[in-house]
Structure 1
């Protein structure tokens, strides 16, 4: 059975579902204003699994209505014997949908060994590098991934386990303007995506690596999350509420901290102690985090932020390391935020 290529070809329930995804994009992501959703191309990541297959069909059904063209990207990681079958499935799907496909193969195991990374991290870096490359080549506005509400619930648990603070504890955002990244299914439960595919009569590929207990995310997905849902069948809805609260707080603090522009010192940001002492501790902590976020990827953990604030308020010299090879150095005059000098020696 050929997959549907437009809203008009969909039965009523999946058609309304697609329109709900469009409403989410327009109402909750903020990308329409920032990146002019409604013109240009969208790059869609598709592994051939249920989530990304559903995303590809949904975007294609909305493309004409929203004034965009969809370009699909698939990366074969060469980690499983059946990975070539996944690539062929995506090729056939794109052919049936009349979508342009960029499909590449990469020995991720060799890449991981070369860079000293885990397989999951190396694969993720390679995927996003290819997605960004294609986005640049075709002049696309956005990269779309198929992260959904179950993924968000796993992400919240992983952040909690790592010691993330608020509002980062609310989970990954649905729109990342720095990376041109959009997650249009983020508040959609996986079960709804499976129902959508069944309503459309579309199959998908199964990735056996999703059940391997060696990956932390898989342990959350297959062990911890089912226990929480058993305790509270509405647990996913609770995660969605937490996410909305985090985004609301984040928007408020982003506006509030916009006026607290630090002094630029080369590739570093400097805050004088005089400015900090007049602020409430909550505002100081948010300010530290916002400046660290400006330096690049890497989640600032709560303990380190509190250590930084304690040293700053005591006027004690200190150097606090943060994920992403970032460093906050407290001096007698203030705090200098910048790259960790030791990173260049790694």
Structure 2
């Protein structure tokens, strides 16, 4: 009996050790740990202030005087990168809060699916409203101060151009994706508490079209393995779907490929549009100069006819300049060789071999 127990214990230990050595299992375990709901406690004075400003639930329009359980919810959940301050809070009934979970505000019905057309303006100094339209407007303002990834614009782009690009991104439902990228391993993970199911489903379909295959399915998470060479294209496509990408480190898999350019910068995110536009890396002082700056991402090619015409003209001009430089280079080499005596002897021999 003791021998059987020892064998069973050894098998369990071997299984645990193999799971610890498997990077995909480690990645899945990290997702389950990072997916835990983050607590946010609003002080009692601010809670009373909200109670005096709201009389009904903006989601189901029920009267607060007839509700015994009222909870504090976030317009942009903390799990999706929202700030933990008073401007991100509103009151709703417990049933609506439990039904929503950590999904985006736009997933709550037609009343919340009309994002503002104008770029978001700061709400400082204005009275806070709690209608669905007011919450959607404040959502855009909060996303401007939330964790955002880089845009495909250069650092010389105007702030209005960057905001217009971000406004198109913020018009989509926000969700969360976990990712790891090293020289020989690229993983994309989705958790059950990653936002609304529709957005996560679209990201899964996009992952499959980009060559990702399902590597592990857990109780509350799923992991896809991607070709490291296709990772950046995939992760930028998911970011454009308004995903908050959470970087996950896997022990022993942190070495990036040389000359990777954006590979070592893609996990960085900032909470300021000004820093986003200047490409300053988070956590780095500005006096580092260019060492603290991220490179520009690949530009998004426009499908407009004038943009396509400009690209064709630019490509033709580049090819024409290249041909001219190549012709001048060969002409210079011929002139240098013609001044050499060995070239004259070789030319005389070639002329003597030609038939008369």
Please confirm whether the aligned pair reaches a TM-score higher than 0.5, indicating the same fold: no
**TM-score, length basis structure 1:** 0.24
Higher helix share: 1
